[in-house]
Amino acid sequence: MHAGRCKNLPMPTPPRPLPQRPPTLRDVAEIAQVSIKTVSNVVNDYPYVKQATRDRVLAAIAQVGYRPQAAAQQLRTGASGLITLALPSLTFTYYSDIAQAFIDEAQRRGRTVVLHTTSAGPEAERTVLQGFERVLGDGVIFNPLQLWEEELARMERTSQPTVFIGEHLPEQLPRGCDYVKIDNEGASFEATSLLLDQGRRRLAFLGAIPSAHGVQPHSSGTLRRDGFLRALAAHGLDPSAATIQEVGDWHRQDGADGAEALLERLPEVDGIVCGNDDLAIGVLSRLRRHGRRVPEDVAVIGYDDTPDAPFTSPPLTTVSPDKQALATTVLDLLIERIGGYDGPPRTVMTPYDLVVRESTALLPA
Amino acid sequence: MHAGRCKNLPMPTPPRPLPQRPPTLRDVAEIAQVSIKTVSNVVNDYPYVKQATRDRVLAAIAQVGYRPQAAAQQLRTGASGLITLALPSLTFTYYSDIAQAFIDEAQRRGRTVVLHTTSAGPEAERTVLQGFERVLGDGVIFNPLQLWEEELARMERTSQPTVFIGEHLPEQLPRGCDYVKIDNEGASFEATSLLLDQGRRRLAFLGAIPSAHGVQPHSSGTLRRDGFLRALAAHGLDPSAATIQEVGDWHRQDGADGAEALLERLPEVDGIVCGNDDLAIGVLSRLRRHGRRVPEDVAVIGYDDTPDAPFTSPPLTTVSPDKQALATTVLDLLIERIGGYDGPPRTVMTPYDLVVRESTALLPA
DNA sequence: TGGGATATCTGCAACGTTGTAGAAACGCTC
DNA sequence: GAGCGTTTCTACAACGTTGCAGATATCCCA
């Protein structure tokens, strides 16, 4: 609360408190008695530097603790080494798993991941598409959930190199991007067939999301449901009579709520194919509460093979996408685009496995 | 394999293929017929710009899709708006939860999170301490696991503004950092007391990690164990006779393995306090396999209140750290330091709750 | 001994932005 | 209509780095 200001006192070099700028090439150069450029050459392993000079420079670097400033490098070279990963939310185990896979794989390639989450909704996703408020990273890995297909289809080209992951993107993608997906429909078909082959006939799919405003959120739900229906048809059942249980979202709690509703609609259900593992975990908790035995009375299948799956009660049969392969493929494509490749959009399918655990054990009968 | 080089052909402006640089202030200025600085003034809401000029500039900005380049801003101003979050691994639900909390809170403050994971070991943690290879963000939030206390104590000051979270940091911290912690010991005391008050007497703590090379990894385990032991003593039991079950790490699988070992050592166990929820989930799965009923035969308590906890079988009693409070507190401190504050290290304790669920239900007796 | 290649080092300019200082135009008062 | 303050705009420099084009010095071979 010191109101008065000393207007005329000439402050001799106001001692800048903390923001003591980190050492620069200039500082190193001064100590090593060489030009700035030579220091730069040493840092960048330019071969034509005498060993003696190199040693002197390296010593100076160590002495002042020099580290290159990413901002200046980026300004000069146009590349930041940053990759933006835009996911719905880390509170879904599936996404935190793939986030880790991407971080590891990026670190392995000398790149750093900037994480952005879009659980806020379509507004947040649109921000991602438009390239954020500031030009920051070299490219984006983007898993949209709520994005209107038409919106994406309208774009002529993405604002920066982009690789989409997830589901339900339009056939016709803008220029400047690629798309890596997982065969949801096929995986769901395979999972459902497993139950049908066991003789179970009163199956339900849990995980459809009612579409609001024409938005199709979690459209992986749609694909997985389609695979479910196709499997029914392939086994001679009538898909139009199938039980499709809607849920509010894809968290554990939604699975629990959905299970309550389902048990009311179809008390004799003997197999539930869930949209993901989190839903399945909620389902298991409610089946237990209602005294249904798994797998004796009801079989349950999840999707994602989250780290939880082997430890649920009983351990959960689930579709396991190859997250490592996903990360590798995506980064290959993205870095190629960052490097200047500008061919037409490419679509790549990555593999999955059906991991069979006790929640779908064969009936002793 | 085109070996020959055309030395003398003067290439007239080689058409740079993709890396078409994004529009700059200069481009906008040209279109709007004003100086670069005026565009900058408009972008930064400098008040002394005529409305007509402002409109013209805004139109030009929209026309070319101008977005400021973070790198140039950082170079000029010295601040990037980036905050580095260094965590062990997102595959622990606890860490992915707090990562999300930090991302949200940072987004709310107009800052972006760079995520770095250090599961690779002490080497990776040392890199964080040294400020990484390049100067990138404005500050770090760092949850070390394996860092030698002495190593940190030896530092005079951190290489950039830092807030530590987690456990077992030295009393004497370097300059330039703060420390936000959770009262692990107290929480564990309270959790253990809950079981003792129910009359359970053959308790075990599961989650100690054998220390290798003098390193004290997961030292939260130590604190939580200490609280456990203190509770025993406070209830008139002999802490030196307590059962402490070691585990290899703190994943679900380690909980499962630890439970197997524990059941062999102390078959009559009637209460297990686990180092975290993931361990508890593994424990529950093995108790079930061995036919032990929870909570009738054995009560189980976890730590972290991960999203799994309400959905385990039975739902898990657990200590719930206030992640939102953690994120808020940490960012407050960090941003204050980034802003130039350079006072001595501060230590802040954030609150927790004991969430009682069925895994510790009272015995009907 | 000359000529060309090779090795080692340097200065300059530019990347896009913003702080500073100041020029120019305007409006007001006496 | 001179003087002064306010509004509006601009030029310049600098942040730290690297590509480019050279300047020397050194070496090898004819």
Chain B neighbors of A96, CB-CB under 8 A: 90-91, 93, 96, 99
User: For the residues B253-269, what does the mean pLDDT come to?
Assistant: 96
pLDDT of residue A94: 87
Which chain A residue lies closest to B88 (C-alpha atoms)? A100
Arithmetic mean of pLDDT, A33-56:
95
For residues B127 and B94, membership in a common domain is answered with: yes
Which of B65, B70, B256 lies nearest to residue A136, judging by beta carbons? B70
Interchain contact, A78 vs B133, CB within 8 Å: no
Whether residues B288 and B313 fall in one domain: yes
A24 touches strand C (CB under 7 A): no
Residue B351 has pLDDT above 50, yes or no: yes
Evaluate whether residue B4 is within a structural domain: no
Same domain membership, residue A54 and residue A96: no
Q: Encoding tokens for residue A287?
A: 């089946």
- Among candidates B103, B114, B281 on the partner chain, residue whose Cβ is nearest the Cβ of A112: B114
Cβ distance A112 to B112 less than 8 Å, yes or no, reads: no
- B20 CB contact with strand C at below 7 Å: no
Residues from chain B contacting residue A72 (CB–CB below 8 Å):
71, 75
User: Sign of dihedral through CA atoms B257, B260, B261, B266?
Assistant: positive
CA distance B303 to chain A (A): 16
In a domain, A340, yes or no: yes
| CB A21 within 7 Å, strand D | yes
Q: Is residue A365 part of a domain?
A: no
Looking at the partner chain, which of A74, A131, A308 has a beta carbon nearest the beta carbon of B67? A131
- Domain end call among A40, A65, A90: A65
Q: What's the confidence (pLDDT) of residue A154? A: 83
Q: Are residues A281 and A348 in the same domain?
A: no
Clarify whether residues B159 and B280 are in a common domain.
Answer: no
List the A2 CA – C28 C1' distance (angstroms).
34
- Check residue A122 and give its pLDDT: 80
Nucleotides of C under 7 A from a protein CB: 7-12, 14-20
pLDDT confidence band for A152 (50 / 70 / 90)? confident
In a domain, B73, yes or no: no
With CB atoms and an 8 Å threshold, state whether B337 touches A18.
yes
- The answer on A303 and A201 residing in a single domain is yes
DSSP-derived pairing of the beta strands A175-182 and A157-165: parallel
What mean pLDDT is predicted for residues B19-39? 91
Report how far residue B146's alpha carbon sits from residue B143's, in angstroms, rounded to the nearest whole number. 10
- Of the pLDDT bands very low, low, confident and very high (cuts 50, 70, 90), residue B222 is confident
Mean pLDDT along residues A315-342: 95
Angle at A298 between CA A263 and CA A97, to 5 degrees: 95
Structural domain containing residue B268:
184-320+354-360
* Domain match, B190 and B161 both: no
Give the distance from CA A203 to its chain's centroid. 30
- Same domain for A191 and A290, yes or no, is yes
| Cross-chain residue pair A99–B97, CB shorter than 8 Å | no
- Strand D at less than 7 A from CB of A73: yes
Burial code (b: 16+ CB inside 10 Å, e: under 16) for A316-339 equals bbbbbbbbebbbbbbbbbbbbbbe
Name which of A204-213, A250-259, B336-345 the model is least confident about. A204-213
CB–CB contact B112 A117 (8 Å): no
Per the CB < 8 Å rule, is A112 touching B71? no
Query: Are A213 and A292 within one domain?
Result: yes
* pLDDT higher than 70, residue A256: yes
Q: How far is A212 from chain B (nearest CA, A)?
A: 25
> In this predicted model, what pLDDT tens digit does every residue of A287-311 receive, in sequence order?
999 999 999 999 999 999 988 899 8
Is residue A11 very low, low, confident or very high in pLDDT (cuts 50, 70, 90)?
A: very low
Min Cα distance B120 → chain A (Å) is: 10
CA-based nearest distance A340→chain B, Å: 5
Q: Is the CB of A53 under 7 A from strand C?
A: yes
Q: Token pair for residue B209?
A: 């990690």
Residues of chain B contacting A134 with CB distance shorter than 8 Å: 67-70, 73, 81
CATH number at residue B30: 1.10.260.40
pLDDT in tens, A189-223: 999 999 999 999 999 999 988 765 444 544 678 88
Distance CA A64, CA B201 (A): 59
The answer as to whether A3 is a domain residue is: no
Q: What is the mean pLDDT of chain B?
A: 88
Q: Give the nucleotide with minimal C1' distance to the Cα of B25.
A: C16
- pLDDT for position A338: 95
A75 touches strand C (CB under 7 A): yes
- For residue B237, give how far its alpha carbon lies from the nearest alpha carbon of chain A (Å): 33
Q: Which of B15, B47, B68 is the last residue of a domain?
A: B68
Using alpha carbons, select from A37, A44, A39 the residue that is nearest to residue A28.
A39
Q: Is residue B231's pLDDT more than 90?
A: yes
Residue numbers in B near A283 (CB within 8 A) = none
Q: Is the CB of A44 under 7 A from strand D?
A: yes
Q: Who contacts A104 (Cβ-Cβ below 8 Å, separation ≥6)?
A: A327, B117
Structure tokens at B9: 């052909």
Nucleotide nearest the Cα atom of B37 (by C1') = D10
Domain count, chain A: 3
- Alpha carbon of A350 to those of A95, A222, B238: distances in Å? 16, 19, 57
Q: What is the largest CA-CA distance in chain B?
A: 97
Higher pLDDT, B298 or A364: B298
Closest Cα in chain A, distance from residue B284 (Å): 8
Q: Is position B231 within any domain? A: yes
- How far is B220 from B304, CA to CA, in rounded Å? 12
**Is B9 among the domain residues?**
no
On whether both A38 and A152 belong to a single domain, the answer is: no
Question: CB of residue A76 closer than 7 A to nucleic acid strand C?
Answer: yes
Largest Cα–Cα distance in chain A?
97
| Cβ density class A169-182: b for 16+ within 10 Å, e for less | beeebbebbbbbbb
The confidence score (pLDDT) of residue B169 equals 78
pLDDT at A19 over 70: no
- Assess whether B210 and B316 both reside in one domain: yes
Task: Classify residue A314 by its DSSP letter.
Answer: S
**Assigned domain for B305 exists:** yes
Provide the pLDDT for residue A258. Answer: 97
Work out the percent of chain A whose per-residue pLDDT is above 90.
73
* CATH code of residue A342: 3.40.50.2300
Contact criterion met (CB < 8 Å) for A90 and B73: no
- Given A14, A35, A65, the domain boundary residue is A65
- Chain A residues near residue B285 by CB distance under 8 angstroms: 310-313, 315
Nearest to A162 by CA among A150, A177, A184, A151: A177
Provide the positions of strand D that have an atom within 7 A of a protein CB. Answer: 7-12, 14-20
- Contacts of A98 by beta carbon, 8 Å cutoff, 6+ apart: A87, A165, A323, A326, A327
Full DSSP string of B222-287: HHHHHHHHHHHHHTT--GGG-EEEE-SSSSHHHHHHHHHHHHHH-TT--EEEESSHHHHHHHHHHH
- Using an 8 Å Cβ cutoff, are A182 and A352 in contact? yes
The pLDDT, as a whole number, for residue B212 is: 55
- Candidates B135, B24, B23, B22; CA nearest to B82 is B135
- The answer on A192 and A146 residing in a single domain is no
